[in-house]
Amino acid sequence: MLRFIRRNIALVVAPVMAVFAIFAYDMLHLLSRDYPRIVHSVYFAIAAIVLFGLFYAVITLFGCCRKMRPATGPRTRGSRD
Q: What residue segments make up the domains of the chain, in order of their start? A: 1-34, 36-69
Distance separating alpha carbons of residues 5 and 12, to the nearest angstrom:
9
Start-to-end CA span in the chain (Å): 39
Work out the number of other CB atoms within 10 angstroms of the CB of residue 32.
Answer: 14
Q: What is the pLDDT of residue 65?
A: 60
Distance separating alpha carbons of residues 45 and 38, to the nearest angstrom:
11
The answer on pLDDT for 75 being more than 80 is no
Sorting pLDDT into bands at 50, 70 and 90, what band is 79? Answer: low
Q: What percent of the chain has pLDDT over 70?
A: 77
**pTM score above 0.75:** no
Q: Tens digit of pLDDT for each residue in 9-59?
A: 888 888 999 999 999 889 888 888 888 888 888 888 889 999 998 998 888
Q: Is the dihedral of CA 18, 25, 55, 52 positive or negative?
A: negative
